Structure 1
Amino acid sequence: MPTPAVLTEGLHKRFGPVHALRGLDLDVPEGTVCGLLGPNGAGKTTAVRILATLTAPDSGTARVTGHDVVRNPAAVRRSIGVTGQYASVDADLTGAENLRLFARLNGMRSAAARSRTSELLGRFGLEEAADRPVRTCSGGMRRRLDLAASLLTRPAVLFLDEPTTGLDPQSRGRIWDTVRELARAGTTVLLTTQYLEEADQLADRIVLVDHGTTSVRGTPAELKARIGSYAEVVVAEEAAGEAAEAGVLAAAAVLDRLTGSVPVLDHERRTVAAVTTDPALTLPRLVRELDAEGVPVVDASLRPPSLDEVFLRLTGAQPQQSRQCPRTEGTGEIAA
């Protein structure tokens, strides 16, 4: 089993009345990408700040590359790079001046700082930003500069706290490519993100944090397997008003009976979805049952869940503009 590059046990942290971490456990093997996910306020950024030696834990232990973050913070800092939620580059300096400054602050000699700066500007496609004040650069360029700065010392562990928030798809794709390259080269990456697709694309393992503690962990495939499959039906708009409502409710009744789980309805889009773990449920059977009940269907599908749906299920949240279709108490039937 690979040696843990990041290891926490029973990590607790309070900020006044707010209990940000409540016994967080992490185990990130060397050379892997770990996606740290959770709703807002779950404690993700607090965990990163503790691991980066920016905040001390109240109790518990945390080690990075074998070094305790409290007892030996200097050794931890020598082995890590950090890209926070907000760019740390100086807006009045050029891109090249920023990188050379960070390099010198990290103890690099002048010639080495210039060489490494030139290398990273080229790697991130930032030649245009080299001689421009950062205040004139786009948000995507600033984030790439920030990431480049965190890689100046070739860290063994890289902490990325929501590194692509607010970026356009092209800039996000560049950062994704960089993370993949770093992982292939052996860098350990701990990534927090609000983009579930990002974690699905990049993470070898995912840790779901909820209310300051480890809720669920596993590979993206393992987490999806825990949920099962999604049966989804789109009802035709053959009539307006009560007739259209009746079609959605009829489809919900069929899914309720076949899956044994409470369907989720979106009346505006005329969709009904439900989770199933029954391997005997096939798409042809679903279509036959809908047809037998006279449900006018535009589309029907049976598919694996997305990571977004896994996240919503495991955190107990519900998608916006949707609601669960309640059963009539004691009958198992759909209630209007």
Structure 2
Amino acid sequence: MELLRGICKLICQNKARSALLLGALLIFVTFCFMYVGGNINPFYSGMSIKPQSAQINQNETTKIIKKVGFIPFYTKKDMVYESKNPGIATVSDDGIVTGISNGVAVINLTVRGITAQTQVYVTENAVVHYDKGVYIGGVKNGKRNGYGVMKYENGNVYKGSWKDDTPNGYGVMTWKNKNRYEGEWKDEQFDGFGRLEYKNSYTYTGGWLKGGFHGYGEIKWKNKDEYKGEWKNGQMNGYGVFSWYSGDRYFGQWLDGNRSGYGEFIFSRDRSRYVGYWAQNLREGYGVEYISGKLRYEGEWTKNMYEGIGRLYIDGTTIDYEGEFKNNKPVFK
């Protein structure tokens, strides 16, 4: 604070130096602002390293290329490289990675508390011929283990992690017909998070369990329909939003791929809207219908029709009929 007062006093006494001193003041204030509790303010910091992933053989090397954003006054001494898996790959103070044994190593670069990360796959580069194709990669106890590439005779290619002869961990499968899966595997099945592209059908991104959609996921079909929500056993289960290319939309509960439970459906063709309960994609139970934004009917439904006790409105507020309905019509007694 005393330094700031001194600078202000000098500015007042000597106008000729005011511009220079004002510039120095701005630099000082900016420098102070960038430090919060002794650390660089993340607003002014940014860093990445390349490649984001790399593959090398044992005893081979690769260079980690840094890209540092605005981190002022850093030097080479501030740059700290670290291998989280030194038994698989080591890294020098200059960012040179050396493959040691088969597997995946995580390499970190830290500059003043800001850390970027990359993965390095180390393989033995063994070549094994199978009846269905050729494998190039890590082998342990006579089985495919670690990172490897399997080129099948039918044109399919798998690149990724293996465990005891089956895809396990992260991997990419590309089929001859250009379909593609990228994500996590367990015992040769999609399991975890992944993205599946069926070129002539749909693209799904989200959770998997034993080869089926599971957890939260998003799917977009070729016809531009799409669903975002919960899945179980490969079907829409739980809460989700389905948007049709026609403009219709449904927000609500699903059971085994069907609208079931509480939900809201908006019909684009006539701006009508239904809010209530569903069963097997049909309005079932209590629900409210709006036409052109105005309340039309509230009451019980059966298989998409007014059925049971309800109210019919004329202009959204005036009750036209209240009582029993059957087959979409009032029952007059």
Q: Give the alignment's TM-score, normalised by structure 1.
A: 0.28
Which structure is larger by alpha-carbon Rg, 1 or 2?
2
Structure showing the higher helix proportion among its residues: 1
Larger relative contact order (CA 8 Å, sep ≥ 6): 1
